[in-house]
Structure formats: C-alpha cells, structure tokens
Structure 1
Amino acid sequence: MLSPILANAKQAGIKELDERFKALSFNTYKSIAKNSKLTQFNDDNIEELAHKIKQLIKQNDHFSAIALIHKNINIIKDNISNQYVFEFIELLLKHNEYKIARSLYTQLKNESEQYFIANAALKFAKYHSDRHEWQLTLDYLNTELRELSSENTNHAFMLQGMALQYLKKHRQAIKIYEKIKGRSAYYSSAQLNIAVAHIRQDWWTDAHIVINQLFKDFPSIKQQELGNRLYLMLGYSLLSKEYYRESRESFRNISLDSQYTNKALMGISLAAISQGDNIGALNALERLKEKASYDLVVEESHLLLPHIYKKLEQYMTANAGYTSAVTYYQKRIQQINQELNHANYYRLNHMTINQQSEFIIAETPLKFTELYPQYFLNNLNELIYLKSKITSPSISQQIDKLYQEYSEAFNIMIKGLLEHRLSALNSYLNQAHYGIAQLYDKNSE
C-alpha cells in the first residue's frame, strides 16, 4: 500500500514531473560543462577538483560545482575508489542531479571495494527515504553494512527500520531499531519509532514503557522538542485507552513554546470532558481559543466551548457561543473562498512560511508535507535557481516550460489543501447551527 504522501504524489503527477526534472537537469549541466570554460583537471588532481568544488559551495554556487563535476566526470570515474567521490555523490543527490550520481554508483559497484559501495549505498538510501520510496531504500541497504562506521551503521539501521515500518512490517522494524544503542545520535529517534510501532499494533503498554524508559535514561530529552512530541504521543495514547488523568499529566508536560502546544491543550480539554471536568475543559479551550493562530485545533475550539456550556446547563452562554462560532466560521469560510477565487497562481515567493515549514495563506497554516513530498518543493526551488543561471535561449525555454508545469501542479496542491480546510470549517459551521437549533428546541419545550 502506498503511503499517503506517495498516493497524493501519484495522483498529482509529481513522480512524472520529477523524472522530467532529472532529465532536464542532467542535460542542462552537461550542456554547460561542454560549452563553458570550466577547468579540466588532470587524473592525478582529484584533490584539487574536490577543493575547488568545496570553494564553490561555500560561495553558494552549487551550479558551478555540479557543472565542474560534469566537466571532469571521466577523471572522477578514473579515481572511483577515492573518498572525495562520496562528497560528489552527496552534492549531486542533494540537488537531484540523479543521473550522473547513479552513474558514479554503478561504476563503484563494478570496480570498487565493499567499503566504497556500502558508503555510497547509504547516501542513495537516504535520498530514497526522504522521498518515501521505501522499497528502494531497502534495496540500497541490502549490502555489507559491516563495512560502515559505527554511526553510519546506526544511520543505516534507522533508515531500514523506517522503511519496514512504513511498509507495515512493524515487528521487523522493531528488531532493526533495537540494534541502535544508547550512545548513538539516532537512539532517541529509534526509541520513538519503536513506541509508534507498538501503538500501531495496539501494544500501548509496551509503547508507554519505551517512552518512560527513554525519559528515565535521558532526562534532558524532556526539555527538547522530541520530548514534547513524545509527551503528545503518550498523552493521546493514554486518552484513547481512557486513562484520562495520566493523559492530562502527559499533555501538561509539553512546553508552552512548543509546536505541539495547541494539540496538547485540545488533548487536555478532551480528557477533561471525558472525566466530567467541564471547568477544566473550559479553561483549556479558552486558552486555545485565545491563541493568535488558525491551527485546525484552534478553529475547533470555537465549536467545543459552547458545547461545554450546554453540558453545564448555561444555555444562554451556550447560545451566545454557538452564535459567535457561526459568525467566526462564516468569516473564515469567506476568507478562504476569496483566496480560492482570486488567486490564479500560488508562488513560493508570494507566500509566508513559518518555522514549522507551513505555508500561511488567508491566515491559514497549511502543512504541505502532510500530503505531498518535500522533493517537489526542492525541485521547484531548483528550477528557479537554474532559471537565474542559464543564458542559453534553448535551455531557458525548456526550463521555463517545466517551471510553468511545476507552478500549475503547485497551484492545484495548495488549492487542495485550502479546500480541505474549507471542508472542515463548513462541518464546524453546520454543527454550530445544529447546536443553536437544539437549544431553540429545548427552550420551546
């Protein structure tokens, strides 16, 4: 089964656009290298080539750096068992110059030792993992991992575990994650993913043991964003199992400046409602409603507040709350409809992006990567970059054409995210109307 990101990517034709980007990128750099005055290094000067490429990267000129790799590709292949080849492959994959990177890997597999093959394979596994191409990730890691350094081996285990987990092979994933020991920088993330795997299989007790043990072994995690994420996951897991008091305690441990604060406040309110603690629920929802943001949970709080007042039999306050919610949702729906109706194209340079990598449109935060892959945006930015570097009319025309198609696809995606929010707001509006109708019927009795 495809992950949600891959399913939406397939539907939007992103994979096809990506393949066309790779082809255009390769041909562009090949043409530039062929016609430019870039330095042609000698076979025994690969160290000088690597030094020059590092200089260009420091100058934020990866265009010239990649063109230089194209210019000297034969020299690099003649020195294929050289540590600098890893740096070249990493640079190429970072900017999706895949075809030439893959040609270097093929040369490595044919001519080099397992040490070089394994280290290069790890870079390709990371590339495909970032794209949620899980089977390819596993295929690249089907190599001699013992040739890697200790921490690179842990990195490989992390990628393997993630791939197996997304392929719903949770038990196999857990066994892989357990190979990552406490001294590794990947240990905390591996333990988090083990907890997630337990929850996916409804082994929530095991998940709680893993999380609590991680906090015990590494107390400093509690002050980090990873700790906030763990507390959120633990809180909702406890909530789903009706451990309401423990759930609220977990949510309360999330720091006030965390990106998870709003979801924690909603979790506290839901747990309080389930406990019959309507005052506690009111306090959490009031704090949530006062937030200067339009997160979905903040928008939902406008509907839940009058619901609590109704449970408290404060019917006039509830009616006022539902009426206020109707006004609020109508205004928000109008805001988003105006954006949908008036925007011909959404472009990266016309958008605000917050610290959580969300687009802010009509004051609405939209998490692009919840439905679509990050590499689409990377390609779009790379096309903008290439447009600024190319002077050849024929190549510029090809870049412009592909950029236009990327822009059209991006526009469709952003509209889809806005329409998804619009659907939620319309649902809340209908529920607010229903709440008013219920109160009216009660007063008519």
Structure 2
Amino acid sequence: MADIILKLSRSLIKVDTNKDFLSDQIHYQITLTVLIISAIASTSLQYYADPIHCIQPAQFTDGYTSFARTLCWLNNTYFYPQTYTRIPMNKNERLQHTLRYYQWLPFVYLIQAFFFLLPHLIWISFYKRNGLNPGLMVNQGKKFNDKPEIYHRIAKEIERYLMCRQLAQCKKKLLLRHNVNENYDNSSSPLLLPNISFRIRYHTYYLVTLYLLVKFIYIINIILQVFILNIILSTGNYRFFRFGFDTLTYVFRSSLRERIGELSHQHQQLFPFVTLCDFHIRELGQDHYYTIECILLINIFYEKIYFAMWIWFVILFLISIISLIYSFYIYVPFFARYRFINKFIRCIKSKKQQTFSPYTPISPTSTNITTTDAEPQNNILNDVSRQKGFVQWLQRDGVFLLHLLNTHAGERLTIKCVEDLLAIWINNYEEKSKLADRLLKNEFQFSQ
C-alpha cells in the first residue's frame, strides 16, 4: 500500500527523492499526498453532496427550508449530547460548544500538507549550498551499470568536498593565528594556501548537522499539528488529543448494542452527527426565533479521516523518533561510522582473496597509483589503525554521502567508491606531514 501511495505521490508531486531516505519520504510524500487527497474529497463532498440536513417546522415552505439549511451551514452549529434534557438558555454558553471547523477543513488539510513539506524544503534549500549536490551525485551513481567508470567521478567529487572543507579550516586557523583578514594578499604571505573561499561551509559535518536538524523539525511539526488541531477542532472542553483514545475505547470495549444506542458517546463530541442550530427570521412587524436539529453528514467523513490521522500521527511520531536516534547513531559516533566503512573494506578484501591476485590500483591515471603501491594498499585491508585513519578522513559528511549512495545506487557502486577513495587517501592524504608541506608551499593539488 505504501508503494502505491509513493508512486502516486511521485506522479502528482515532482520531488527528487535521491537526496534523503525512506523515513523522510513518509513525511513529505505519503502524508502530503494523503492530505491533498483528503482536501479534494472533502471539497467534493461539500459542493456536490448535501453536507447538512435539518428538521424544519411544519409551516416552512421550500424557500424557508433552503434558507434555514444554508444559514445553519454558514453560521455554524453547536453540540449538546442528547442526554441533556434542557438546552441552556444562555447564548454565551451555547457559543462555547459551537463547531467552527467543518467549512474550513479543506483549507486545513492543505495547510497541514504544506507544513509536512516544509522540512523537506528547508533541507533542499540548504544542502545545495555546501558545494556538492547529493541528489545529482546519486543520479550519476544510478548510471553505474551503463557507465562503470562513473565511480571515479563520484570518488573525486567526495574527495574535493571533504578536502575543500579541511583546507578551509586550515586557512581559517592560519589567518586567525597570523591576524590576516580575507582581503589580505596571500601572495605576499609566507603561509601560502590554495584559494579557498570562506563562503564555502568549512565544517566537515555540515550535511549531517543539517540532516539531523531536519529530522528534529519533522518531530516538532507533528507535535505542533496536534496542538493546532486541538484548537481548531475543540468542542467545549473536549480536545483532539483525547479523540483517538476515546474512539479506540468505544470500538474495542463497547458492545454492539452500546454502539448502536449510544449516539452521544463522548468521542463524538469532536465530530457530532446531530447538532443544534439557532436562527431567526425577520418578517414584517415581528421576528421569529427557531432552534432546530441538524444532521452533519460530512462529519461522518471527517470522523473517519481524523481518527485515521490520529493513529497515523502516533505511528509517524514513533517512526520519526526512532529515525532521529538511528541517524544520530550511524553518523555521529566514530565506532558506528567505522563499522559501516569496515563492511565495505571487508568486501574489498574478500574480492581480492577470491581473485588470488595482488592488489592493483583501480585507475593509475586518476589516483596517481603505481605498482609499488600494491603492498601498502594490501596492508590497509588488514590494518585496523590505518582503516580508522581513513574513516577519520572521511568525517561524518563523507560517511553520510556513502550511506546515501548505498541506499539509492546500490552496494556494488558504494564498494567501488570506497575502494577508489582508499587509493586516493593512501596516495595523497595519509601522510599528514607531506600534506602540510605541500599546503605551506602552495603545491597542493587534488587527485587527477
């Protein structure tokens, strides 16, 4: 069922899903699509069906009947359980039980849909400013079967992304240390560095921080929507938060006879079927005041929709909490990142053992690897400390990008990218002293 809704949502709403994961798509695709469908359905019921029927006095003509039904629909009705023997005469007390929502719920659905899309809009607005577009990178990775050399390009993009941030960090520290501002002419400084703009995000955990923030916004969005629905749908002292609990109790703990006879059950205070309407008709010389009963047929639809929404909010809240904790676990602690990368290193090692041939470089022209590098690269497949150094170089964002590739483009491409990144790291970045000398002499170059 979820796959059908995802396909429908992707056809209705053109949203690129290559930049995040299924737990996020549940928010901005499945929930968004269901809310839009609910808005269309409720609008159709309001305008193409009779959403309200009222009991009319016997002396009313057809014109008076139509007038009373329209007036009760526009001016709202109010609800008192049928167990009330007398309706309060105080007008202000009646106003406290007024149902003000049923004409506006199609717009409420659309506003809810927008707020479920809003965290995703924040994500796509900021992740493109980091110097690397994860969505385009995944789209390239999906062409791997047609163009096997595509993993070289992806590995180089990840290398440039990581090193630009690390170089920007170095430049910032050196400039602060020597009290040099951004407008200072670097050519006259003994501390020469590549021309790295400070406009680029120099944090190597920019993507992960942004992603976890968006996850947190998803949770806040659900909580805020429940509070807003409490305000919009409230009838008297009854709130939307209690609606789901009372409905579940009514369905699973009540007998069939009680369900048939108890039309004014507590859970129906939010979406009552039988309501009251006050209006008066001005005629020549006198006014006539009437209080009539009305049946809100559309509340049958709203009750089922919001009961399903209440259950879905509970499920979605739990999914969001678990997803936030899981995302924090796999991206932030070093041991989790090492475990993820080590899985691909073991696959590379297994492949080398199966071929019974010494490790050879993937692309000597792209990573400047020579045949003499075979022994050091064999060593890293068995050297835990060097593997940890490689994971440390990838940082959180590098592991995040590899997770994204693994999810959307497949494990085979991810293994190839890790293999290429290993070769790049060994030949260019493993010996930090040589890297520092190249930076100070302004001889740094990315792998070709």
TM class by shorter-chain length?
under 0.3
Greater relative contact order (Cα 8 A, min sep 6): structure 1 or 2?
Answer: 2
Larger radius of gyration: 2
Higher percent of residues as helix = 1
Higher percent of residues as strand = 2
Q: Normalised by the size of structure 1, how large is the TM-score?
A: 0.23
Q: Normalised by the size of structure 2, how large is the TM-score?
A: 0.23
